[in-house]
Chain A
Amino acid sequence: MSMSYINRPNRPLHVYALLYLAFLYVPVLFLPLFSFNDSIFIAFPLKEFTFKWYEVMFNNEPMLAALANSVKVGVVTSIVATFLGIFAAKAVTRYRMPGRGPVVAFIMLPLVIPGIIFGVSLLILLSELGVRLSLYTVTLGHIIVCVPFAMVTMIPRFEGFDASIEEASSDLGENMWWTFWRVTFPVVFPGIIASFLLCFTISFDEFIIAFFLSGTEPTLPIYMWSQLRFPDKLPGVLALGSIILMVSFVVVFAAHWIRNRGMPYKRVGGV
């Protein structure tokens, strides 16, 4: 029996997929590789195996400060953007507001405006207003950039969400707050996690806006970029990069697991 070309195994496609994955991940794998290499030069052949750079990294106060800055900005950005995203997505999918189209388009605009334009305009605006540049201004910029991503992540959750289950909850005796807590929140929970992680990642490695809007305290990407001029600092950066890479993998798999698991549910008696 001959198979249709649609489900016949396709060898060129397999090769392509393998090449694609290699192209994507081999450069990334150089990072951990060289972070254990006992040489300040990023070059083959490899020398001795060492943990030295990790030690250097932990003693590099400014770098740890930059990391802390990025984590702070990332956490605040992702919480605020996800929060705004939840309500924007709920409004967009549930209520037939007049002028809904333009409002959505307006919220989505940062998705297509180049970061550099956005950074410069925000910088001009903030300096006109006399706002001093700081981690707050970076966070503000990141929130604006992240809200559309949060919204795009949440909208499918609300669209797949049958509004009658909220009515069913109220019919079964729960007020607005309990309904949100027992129905709306758990049903959109995977979307909240996904949005949180996405916004954190965007903020964490965002360069251009942070470059324009940060004051004296650099975020990690800005700091790393500033260190590229000093070859002896590079392996320490590699060490940090490797750790971030590992954490990202763990986070992505965790997020995937949460999503597949649906959402946690509690036994009613224990609420």
Chain B
Amino acid sequence: MSNNSSFISIQNVSKSFGSVAAVSDVSMEIGGGEFFSLLGPSGCGKTTLLRMLAGFETPTSGEIVIDGQSMSAVPPHQRPVNMVFQNYAIFPHLNIHDNIAYGMRKERLPQAELDKKVEEMLEMIKLPGYGKRRSHELSGGERQRVALARALIKRPKVLLLDEPLGALDKQLREQMQMELRALQRSVGITFVFVTHDQEEALTMSDRIAVMSKGRTLQIDSPTELYEKPITREVAAFIGTMNFFDGRVVSVDNDQIIVDAGALGIVKGIKDTTNFGVGEMAQIAVRPEKFSLSIGAPNGVGNFIEGNMISTAYLGERSYFHIAVNGIDQPIAVSAQNSASADINIRDHKGQVWLGWPDAAVVLLKQDASHSQAQ
């Protein structure tokens, strides 16, 4: 499939149910062959957006274009998309073979050829010989794969997946994440994948649209979202983030200097966000960007003294909370538990030193929702 930069174009799409605005003025471009995720908390409008792509809901306003064709007047059964439903929606009255073959009626294939195609799909989803079974004889993970095969046999241009792994237990879910990603690479179909699990979105996607209350907050690659969130909401939703208030003291070509009170003077790297001198800014730092030491670090750099108030051992990494005088919230810090790591620090109570590189600092605009929240 061509790597068309805009295979699906969603243009200012809104959808209201009565007085509930489920999706508000959403625009995005999804490339051909891309693994694209819609990520957001429950009720933020992900399913509604996906159902508009499938044609089960009509946008209240705005337009959806797929492969250069406007979808406004195209009913679901004529769209070049297929969907894997949240509950899989396997036909209960048909066996697995007939479920997978369901969408092939119009192809009018000879029975033998159809059977061969279905058997190929069953092999692809690693359920060979399951054709005669009924859906109630399958486990959740197996049903999910049947739903996938039933959609993929049609060779759609776009596959829509609505939290397809939500009902699976953790181990199976992680395995299916890998399989799904590998499958998507091998078939080259555009996947639009809905999830409320940020870890899942980060590990699987080429790009992610973070949604909240019917709007998109940021559309970016997983690394960009994690390293350079553009709003506090995105920063807080993806992973853990420490926030500090500050005031911009100077701005030059490549640096922004912020006075962060108890945290001291913080230097942030200047990117696309513009700040004026005197403006309030949010300083955001990921827990793993801090370094911890028991003795005062020597040499230059940013560091601050604090008091270790709790530690949590989580296998491969440990989490610490450090209280700093003059900062309301304890600072969250995490560190890898490698063999060479300082074991002492895990059992340490009392005074510690926190350090961070300038590159760890993300500067965010002070947004309205934050000043209300805190």
Residues of chain A having any CB pair with chain B under 8 Å? 162, 164-165, 167-175, 178, 182-183, 186-187, 262-263, 265-271
Contacts and interface: CB of A to CB of B under 8 A. Distances in A.
Contacts of B83: 167-168, 171
Given A162-B87, A267-B111, A269-B109, A171 B101 contact: no
Given A170-B76, A172-B102, A174-B77, 15 more contacts: A168-B85, A169-B91, A171-B54, A172-B150, A173-B78, A174-B105, A182-B102, A183-B91, A187-B91, A187-B93, A265-B93, A268-B98, A268-B105, A269-B111, A271-B105
A167 B98 contact: no
Contacts of B81: 171
A168 B89 contact: yes
A101 to B, nearest CB: 20
Interface in B84-129: 85, 87, 89-95, 98, 101-106, 109-111, 114
A269 B77 contact: no
B313 interface: no
B104 A265 contact: no
A167 B102 contact: no
B82 interface: yes
A40 B83 CA distance: 72
17 contacts: A164-B87, A165-B91, A167-B54, A167-B85, A168-B150, A171-B151, A173-B77, A175-B75, A183-B91, A187-B93, A263-B93, A265-B95, A265-B98, A268-B98, A268-B101, A269-B101, A269-B114
A165 B114 CA distance: 22
Contacts of B98: 265-268
A186, A187, A266, A268: which has the most chain B beta carbons within 10 Å?
A: A268
B154 interface: yes
A interface: dominant SS = helix
Contacts of A269: 101, 109-111, 114
With most chain A CB atoms within 10 A of its CB, the pick from B77, B101, B103 is B77
A186 B98 CA distance: 14
Q: Which of A174, A183, A269 has the most CB of B within 10 A?
A: A269
Nearest to B86: A164
Given A171-B54, A265-B94, A164 B89 contact: yes
Contacts of B102: 169, 172, 182, 268
A269 B105 CA distance: 7
Nearest to B162: A164
B159 to A, nearest CB: 11
